[in-house]
Chains A and B, each alone.
Chain A
Amino acid sequence: MKPLIHINHLTYAYTSEPVLEEVDLKIFDGDFIGVIGPNGGGKTTLLKAILGLIQPQKGKIYFREDLPRHKRPIGYLPQVKHLDRKFPITVLDVVRSGSLMRPFPFRNSAAEKKAALDLLEEMGVLNLQKNAIGELSGGQMQRVFLCRALISDPKVLILDEPDTFVDNRFEGELYEKLRILNERMAIVLVSHDVGTISAYIKTIACVNRFLHYHPSNRISAEDLAVYNCPLQIVTHGEVPHTILKTHGQHE
């Protein structure tokens, strides 16, 4: 099977010290990769490289032929904290902004609008379509941005810390939604909360300048030490999975 996205020996540096060095990662259909690592370890930089927002100094990212670069069907849910909440834009327009944009648009406006409304309904926020984006709560906003990421019907969905500013109830709903979406698209999920996501993800990528791929959703403190990936592991009292469990052996 050919990977959807193949990151090959990627090195990126903002200054002389590389943030990412010799990073290799293959993303296949059906993957659900949890990307973890300390702040400043290069998680977001890795996403930006995949999205083509930055050009790596070394290495290359290959996309499978059905993912042509000029209209790459990657759904992207960025960290929302950078966005201007007072910007005068409606929820419906935010969702529609996720349809593939072209420099010279020739669009099927009615179909695009219907797709956006269907998604809003699916996420249970159809009643908010005419609201300004700034009038929404954190959870509602995440739903809208998820709609925006999904409207292009992507093959890969990339989420950058979707659990910030979100209440616990929506967090659970979000991960359930992702589990269903994973049946038709690969998912790359960046999170600072390994504890919560480990029940949903299939594999783990530890990013701290280097990338260590861990082909299981369970990771032990020892593994993290071996990977040189210092993390504050959040333990949740009643969550049934054990993330700190030591494996007998490495796969």
Chain B
Amino acid sequence: MKLIIKNLKKNFDKKEVLKNINFEFEKGKIYGLLGRNGAGKTTLFNCLNEDLPIDDGEFFLKDKEVRKIEAEDIGYVLSTPNVPEFLTGREFLKFFIEINKDRIKDEKTIDEYFDFMKIEKEDRDKLLKDYSHGMKNKMQMLVNIIANPSILLFDEPLTSLDIVVQEEMKQMLKSIKKDHIIIFSTHIMELALDLCDEIVILNKGILEKIDKNDLDNTKFKDKIIEALKEE
């Protein structure tokens, strides 16, 4: 399965934020999306998630046949976790499982999902408003994964997590990548190099893949920075 973007354009007033995006993202890979501040990474995600209308171009899914991306196809994890604070973790999961019943393959019990996300037993029946930032983040990721969307967009989701949780999340993402197209935006170069299979940079409104070829990590890093600096 592929996510194909063709000639995508997005302007804010006269500023062309996304100039002419052409790219194919494949299932089974984690794409690290790098870009300088204000490069348009979040705008690209917002366009793909249809939070923002695009000015031109198209994007679609191609498996055996080409089809439009539906709401159920996308999971979008924001850097600031947003969870309904009046529910407990268990209730939130129950609700999400019920509304996604038709799409969930090999449905597990709620506690199995909690185990998968390493959420402690004593926290499962607490109100989400009493969860820590890291736990809220885990819940946000979990419900997006449970829904089993084809595309997972992660907008700097690990930046504010402690290193233990970061490592847990990295392993979790690696374990689910075979069934999804994962695009992961980050500012942390090491994280991108460690986690992602492909590095894609968004610079001057254009999306381009940076090939690693036979470079070691230091040289590859330099190459990425050079590409980001390019006028």
Instruction: Decide whether A and B assemble into one complex.
Output: no
Residues of B at under 8 Å CB distance from A? none
